[in-house]
Amino acid sequence: MSTPADLQITATERTPEIQLSASNGLFSMKGESYPEDVAAFYGQIVHAVEQLPSVLNKPLEADIAMIYINSSSIKAIFRIFEGFEAVRRAGQPVTVRWHYTDDDDIMQELGEDFKDRFPDLSIEVKAS
């Protein structure tokens, strides 16, 4: 069953693959993020995540595995995390797994940053 919060976006060389399934309680984002128009690309994603508290009836599991994120994209991803926090406040458990490659200190630190900024979310920062 598809809900207004479901998304399937194919990766490009400038944008990540996004999968969101409210019916399965799954969110995933993989790849690189430096779109020419951050607002246009992330607007629909932020909007869909903001719908989750009213349509999700199970725990949310999010897997994020990014190779590169520009500073404008980080702000948009912060808004996605605010959506995850809204899901948690609405009563559904949220688990976020932030994956980074072993030698990528920048992605590791960014994951730790999100963990610090959203202390009430269960965020696991792990090398993969």
Residue 75 lies in a domain: yes
In a domain, 100, yes or no: yes
> How many structural domains is the chain composed of?
1
- The model's pLDDT over 4-49, given as tens digits with 9 standing for 90+, comes to 669 999 999 999 999 999 999 999 999 999 999 999 999 999 999 9
Q: 73: which residues sit within 8 A by CB, 6+ positions away?
A: 33, 34, 35, 38, 42
Q: Does 2 fall in a domain?
A: no
Say if 111 falls within a structural domain.
Answer: yes
For the four alpha carbons of 40, 116, 58 and 31, in that order, the dihedral sign comes to positive
Does a structural domain hold residue 94?
yes
Closest C-alpha to 63, from 98, 89, 105, 93: 98
- pLDDT tens digits, residue range 48-102? 999 999 999 999 999 999 999 999 999 999 999 999 999 999 999 999 999 999 9
CA triple 110-116-122, angle to 5 deg: 95
Domain boundaries, position 83 = 7-127
pLDDT band at 1 (very low <50, low <70, confident <90, very high): very low
Residue 72, in any domain of the structure? yes
| Residue 1 belongs to some domain of the structure | no
Domain containing 11 — which CATH number? 3.30.750
